[in-house]
Amino acid sequence: MVLLNREMTRYSMKSGCLYVDFRWLGLHAVVRFHPWKPDGLTVQRLDLDRGVWVSDFLDPGLILLQPPSQDARDQTHPVHRFCLHIPSPVRNRASAFRHLQTSLLQVLARCDKALQLFEHTPLLLWLILERSPGIVNNIDLLERLLRLRMPGILNVLYRKDRPHSGPGIPGPFQKSHVRFLRSIGIREGNIEELGLIKRAVQDDVCVHRFRHCNDIPVLSLAVWQYFEGVDEVVDVLRESSLLEWLMERPYEFGYEAKALTHHVACNWRDTLRMARQLEDDNVLHAMIRCRTKEELQTMHDLLTDRINERDRRARREANLRPFPEPPIPGCDGIIPLRSFEELAEEGHLMHHCVVSYASAVREGRSYIYRIISPQRATLEIVGRGPNARIGQLKLARNAEPSEETWLQIRQWLDGFRRSSRVRAGAAGSS
């Protein structure tokens, strides 16, 4: 929480303390920050029932410092006046960290070794505070930890919890892990970014992948971590030029990085599946050379056209048996595609590879529906009877539908299930 409201804050020139009164927000709490020196930014909470101040050892989650470009508080704001007593180099560096900012300032005020570490490897100090929050109030323990070399500190923090990136037990942390931490540039300094860094520094494959990078945007780690646990088809994407493109995007938030990576991964999987159906061994090599999502999309569209044309020819040349009855009756706005021609037309109109599902439809494993509203979309239903469920729901070019569209499809499916149960009950009673 950024302290912007002047009315809920007060700075005491006599004591140097900052008071934050949350009763302005309807909360039953008052907090007092003691000055940088000599009290080390101690935080106390007022026991409103007894009228006494008690020490608060948990990070209050309040943001005292903001980067100058984002700080809307003027020079006379109580928080600004309080923070002027914090050394300028510390203010400038610590303002980049929103999560655990108070804890960070406390250890910097109380421990010279922490101050030295913060000057050249600030993310390591951030990780220490996340892993051992109580260390803020045990400076002797912190100083003993900081006497270790930095790889040794990482070993103390994470050795037992490190994920296995290969056969056997992961080895000890090395200087390469420290260089990796120094290369990461945080954006918001929030808990999401801290989580990305924490997972990345324990991943030897990730550290090795970025070993030559001097400036790693923190949200590019979200792209890398998307591939944890994915199937081998998508994992090949990490070997392509597209990975560099994904990591270099100017993301604002981690979810944007994950959403774009997911979209590219889905296109990658579909493109490779179509290439295998066409028995075209050259496509994978061309995919690996794709440098942007637009190049992959162009390849996807070309293969879509090829496979649609191939299947249109096959339909003309062979008397294919008609599709079975749809597992769920259609309705206004949800139309079952009852023939190969309708399926091929849907793939052509929507620029995706739905025609490749023809065999699954004939075998009763899937069924395809044309969605007219609230958005033009294509729906796959997997299974039949009470086991029928949504397989995929995509707009043109495999774009993601809106929540309104998802809601309408779920309501349609739920209505079918209710009516099926009623019919089953009536049949049982008779």
Task: List pLDDT tens digits, range 385-419.
Answer: 888 999 999 999 999 999 999 999 999 999 998 88
> How would residue 99 be classed by pLDDT, with cut points 50, 70 and 90?
very high
Q: What percent helix, strand, coil does the chain show, rounded to 5?
A: 55, 10, 35
Tell me if 43 is assigned to some domain.
yes
Q: How many CB atoms lie within 10 A of CB 389?
A: 11
Q: In the listed set 110, 140, 156, which residue is the last one of a domain according to the structure? A: 110
Tell me if 297 is assigned to some domain.
no
Tell me if 321 is assigned to some domain.
no
* First CA to last CA distance, the chain: 64
What does the pLDDT read at residue 151? 94
Tell me if 310 is assigned to some domain.
no
d(CA 201, CA 214) in angstroms, rounded, equals 15
The count of structural domains within the chain is 2
Per the model's pLDDT, the better-predicted residue between 248 and 375 turns out to be: 375
Tell me if 257 is assigned to some domain.
no
Q: In the listed set 76, 110, 144, which residue is the last one of a domain according to the structure? A: 110
Tell me if 136 is assigned to some domain.
no
For residue 28, give its domain range.
Answer: 1-110
Tell me if 187 is assigned to some domain.
no
What does the pLDDT read at residue 157? 93
Element (H or E) spanning 409, and its range?
helix 403-429
d(CA 399, CA 263) in angstroms, rounded, equals 8
Q: Where are the alpha helices (DSSP H) in 253-372?
A: 254-277, 282-288, 293-317, 340-350, 358-362
Q: In the listed set 63, 86, 110, which residue is the last one of a domain according to the structure? A: 110
d(CA 199, CA 225) in angstroms, rounded, equals 8
CA neighbor of 64 nearest in space, from 109, 25, 26: 109
Tell me if 106 is assigned to some domain.
yes
d(CA 133, CA 99) in angstroms, rounded, equals 12
What does the pLDDT read at residue 160? 61
How much of the chain exceeds pLDDT 90, in percent? 56
d(CA 256, CA 285) in angstroms, rounded, equals 28
> How would residue 321 be classed by pLDDT, with cut points 50, 70 and 90?
low
> Six-digit token pair at 250?
């100017």
Strands 334-336 and 389-394: unpaired
d(CA 428, CA 411) in angstroms, rounded, equals 26
DSSP class of residue 48? T
